[in-house]
Amino acid sequence: MGNISDRIALIIKEEGISIRAFEQHIGCSNGVISKCINKGTDISSLWVSKIIETFPKIDPKWLLTGEGTMLSPSSAASNSITSSKSSPSIPTACHAPHGSSEGIPLIPLDAVAGFPAESSGGVRLEDCERYVIPEFENKGANFLIRVSGDSMVPLYYSGDLLACRKITDIRFFQWGTVYVLETSQGVLVKRVQESVDHADSILCVSENSSVHHPFLLPRDDIRSLSIIVGLVRLV
């Protein structure tokens, strides 16, 4: 069935995400998969391995050779690669029992800046829902937040749980990366770009840019900053 770039394009279509979101899922630089699909450039074995690792429901033999079907036999039987076309393949989340100290806490949006809680106040961990997701714990995730709104569709949907790791130094950004920013406007999930004309601000960009237009955010309005290390989509 075509070449490997055609099959990668089919995976992206099946997952219902953008090429850029797919690149983020496997951890490669912006444009690597885009060039493979649109220009027919070769893709290294490293990224093929990452695709197989990140999307375990995909049959490796099909991806490499085109033989067979997209879904591995076990996942095809359960039809569980996605519960909807917009849901990417993600690790399984187990809801920890109430009062448990295991797992990653789900922090209310208005309490992100106060997490981790100090003895003087902040969000009470015993009041938080927790999810056991070993893959995200291994990546250093220390809290989850729930997405609200449609500004980051199709990358993230309202109700998605984002696994986040707080950054202590909020002065530096990796341009083009999606961050969780706690500001005076509340918690924002935005792709951050450099503002050439305003050195004291950053440009916050939504994936759903036809509805939510980019805007400038003063650097001194950023109270806390986190990177996203994983996604849980509850369906």
The CATH code of the domain that includes 61 is 1.10.260
Q: Any idea what DSSP says for residue 121? A: B
172, part of any domain: yes
Q: What CA–CA distance (Å, rounded) separates 110 from 182?
A: 9
- How many domains are contained in the chain? 2
pLDDT at 29: 77
Helices (H), the chain: 4-15, 19-26, 32-39, 45-54, 60-65, 73-78, 134-138
Q: What CA–CA distance (Å, rounded) separates 166 from 177?
A: 14
21 neighbors 34 (Cβ within 8 angstroms): no
pLDDT at 213: 93
Amino acid at 200: D
208, part of any domain: yes
pLDDT at 234: 65
The CATH number for 113's domain is: 2.10.109.10
Of 22, 52, 78, the position where a domain reaches its end is 78
Q: Is the pTM of this model over 0.85?
A: no
Q: Same domain for 222 and 135?
A: yes
Q: What CA–CA distance (Å, rounded) separates 110 from 103?
A: 21
Q: Same domain for 107 and 189?
A: yes
Of 78, 113, 136, the position where a domain reaches its end is 78
| Residue-number span of the structural domain to which 37 is assigned | 4-78
Q: What CA–CA distance (Å, rounded) separates 189 from 181?
A: 6
CA distances from 26 to 33, 128, 137, 158, 161 (A): 10, 30, 17, 22, 18
pLDDT at 88: 41
pLDDT at 190: 93
pLDDT at 111: 52
CA 181, 204, 54: angle at the middle one, nearest 5?
A: 70
86, part of any domain: no
> Can you give the pLDDT of all 235 residues of the chain as single tens digits?
578 889 999 988 887 788 888 888 788 877 889 888 888 778 888 888 888 877 778 888 888 888 888 886 554 433 333 333 333 444 566 766 666 678 898 887 655 555 554 444 455 666 778 888 888 888 889 899 988 888 998 888 888 889 999 988 888 888 888 999 989 888 899 999 999 899 999 999 999 888 899 999 999 999 889 999 888 876 5
Q: Same domain for 17 and 118?
A: no
122 neighbors 113 (Cβ within 8 angstroms): no
